[in-house]
Amino acid sequence: MCGIAGWLSSNKDLSQKTGIIEKMSETLKRRGPDENGVYLQNNVCLIHRRLTVIDPDGGKQPMTISYGDETYTIVYNGELYNTEDIRDELKKLGIVFKGHSDTEVLLYTYICYKEKCVDKLNGIFAFAIYEHNSKRLFIARDHVGVKPLFYYHDGKDLLFASEIKTILANEIYTPHIDDEGLCELFFMSPGRTCSNGVFKGIKELLPGECAFYINGNLRCIRYFSLKAHEHEDNLSQTIEKTRFLIKDAIERQLVSDVPLCTFLSGGLDSSIITKTASDYYKEKGLGRLSSYSVNYTDNKKYFTKSLFQPNSDEEYISLMAEFADTNHTEVVLDNEELADAVIDATIARDLPMMADVDSSMLLFCRAMKKKHTVALSGECADELFGGYPWYHNKEILFEECFPWSRSLDIRRSILKKGFLPQGEEYVHQRYLDVVNATDYLPTDSPLEKRMRQMYSLNFYGFMQNLLERKDRMSMYSGFEVRVPFCDKRLVDYSFNMPWGFKALNGREKGIVRTAVSDMLPYDIVWRKKSPYPKTHNPIYMKIVSERVISIFKNGSPIEEYIDFDGVKQLIEHPDAISSPWYGQLMRAPQVLAFIIQLDYWFRNYIL
């Protein structure tokens, strides 16, 4: 995993801009602490920062290859999980490889197939390839959107980068936020609309999107989207194929030349990954797998059951760690450290987002990085296989809104009266944009059609936020996290799977549970879903409340937008929030931590 960036200009000699280029590269140092490289020629600059995972010597970037009448240079962030399949195909075309890196395979795939190369790839990636003679740039982002790629295009210059901060480091862009960005910040957050970078003029390639840039013109192309087709397998075939695809995706992602571990929450998805990985390690003679879980100081003392979090994880983690025979470590986070880290989390994302839900992940990854460089995690199974409560609650299912953010009342209660009166309309239109673009079959029943819409909403909405969180919080510590459930084959298969199969036996992720029922302990297979753990300690609420009061007491740029009386009501009556502000986790303490992030962001990014 790495960080990439580039600058192409139609009217500037970039060889005279080395200071700015170095500044851009420096912003990506956390993503790629091991090596850095730059290709710089006249009006073209490609930047690479490397976290070495595979082929330390043969995978150096930028990588340049001359073939036929053209010379190509690539910068690439990601991993290909079908590298050897593609390598064998390319060898049959006469390609001779110098190393065993997936970077070289990817570059030759482009050389042989040009923009159609993306159809060959199974992995997580964002990359740019420059053709020296034709002066054409090709950029692409993976099918599911695991790896980020932001860009800014003003007609004369194109900037692109793995993170927004890299674009902000260039003199040609001045940070600015307009009403659309404010709607994203205050009404869509802690997520954001796909392709919208919140900062005015900054966009992101969509999942499954690529683009060509030549002579100042940028042309974007969607090469992948969710497509409806008939599901031809019967139930037993579907169970068997689901099991195969999950196990194959996991095993393909265990390739690494550096220490690898797994996240283990005691839930279904992380348990499948950990058990599969542990068995693979033993079979290959790779030793005992390491697994990690996260908890908070005194959390057991203060834990209370809820609809969204029916039980705590500890007993299930112990059961699974013993069953899979892993070298398990529990990372216990301090509540004050958790509150402090919301600022680092803001810097990591370049935006205020999921507050301590982000900062806890950041601290968790930082702890794992001490002994490991790569981890596998269970994100996205819930989006693909109907794991969230909103898939199963008929009162919620057909509501015309994002199911993880059904009410905007909490937001309105802390905003200035009359601020962004179009906020609700903006959110509803973003909802309609996704729903109206959803592909379905004429034969789909109303329920099946709605389930396709829900899949699209989750795929392009909630899931993208979780993937962004995982990428930024991990890469901030130079730590790579892979997500096997994001395998494009699983995405296509699950999108077209009938709901009756997917929710087999009336259970969330019923097909997955049945497919792995003989792999895991019964209590793990049939455990009710529990979300990523959060702190329940009242000291955390006290810390963030005091910090928010101090922010307003000393004056803040967010006073233009936030009503302090509404915030005080939230502090004094935190239990008045009847449902989470976003998803399953964000309640009063997280809203207050988000306000802390907002204050920092406006002071350091906009002012």
So which residues are the catalytic ones?
2
Query: What six digits make up the tokens of 29?
Result: 């140092």
- CA-nearest of 588, 587, 599 to 547 is 599
Q: Half-sphere exposure of 186 toward its Cβ, with a 13 Å CA cutoff?
A: 29
Q: Are 174 and 154 in contact (CB under 8 A)?
A: no
- Would you give the distance in Å from CA 52 to the centre of its chain? 20
The amino acid at 38: V
Nearest 5°: CA angle at 278, between 330 and 363? 30
Q: Are 96 and 72 in contact (CB under 8 A)?
A: no
What are the counts of helices (DSSP H) followed by strands (DSSP E) for the chain? 24, 17
Nearest 5°: CA angle at 201, between 195 and 206? 15
Measured between alpha carbons, how far is residue 206 from residues 178, 211, 262, 379, 452 in Å?
Answer: 21, 10, 28, 19, 19
Residues with Cβ within 8 Å of residue 100, at least 6 apart in sequence: 54, 55, 58
Q: 217-222 and 209-214: which strand pairing?
A: antiparallel
**Helix-helix angle 268-283:235-252, to 10 degrees:** 60
Query: What six digits make up the tokens of 266?
Result: 């005691």
Q: How far apart are the C-alpha atoms of 548 and 569, rounded to whole Å?
A: 13
The amino acid at 36: N
Query: What six digits make up the tokens of 100?
Result: 């065993």
- Would you give the distance in Å from CA 453 to the centre of its chain? 21
Q: Which residues sit opposite 217 in a β-bridge?
A: 214
Q: How far apart are the C-alpha atoms of 527 and 310, rounded to whole Å?
A: 10
Instruction: Give the containing element (helix H, strand E) for 474.
Output: helix 463-475
List of long-range contacts for 280-286, beta carbons under 8 Å, 24+ apart: 280/250, 280/251, 280/254, 281/254
DSSP-assigned letters across all residues of 194-209: TTB-SSTTEEEPPTTE
Alpha helices for 93-172 (secondary structure H): 102-113, 164-168
Alpha helices for 53-101 (secondary structure H): 83-92
Q: How far apart are the C-alpha atoms of 328 and 318, rounded to whole Å?
A: 9
First to last CA, the chain: 32
Q: 480-482 and 63-67: which strand pairing?
A: unpaired
Produce one character per residue of 278-316: b if its CB has 16 or more CB atoms within 10 Å, e if not: bbebeeeeeeebbbbbbbbbebeeebeeeebbeebbbeb
Alpha helices for 509-602 (secondary structure H): 510-515, 522-525, 538-553, 564-572, 588-601
Residues with Cβ within 8 Å of residue 311, at least 6 apart in sequence: 305, 527, 528, 530
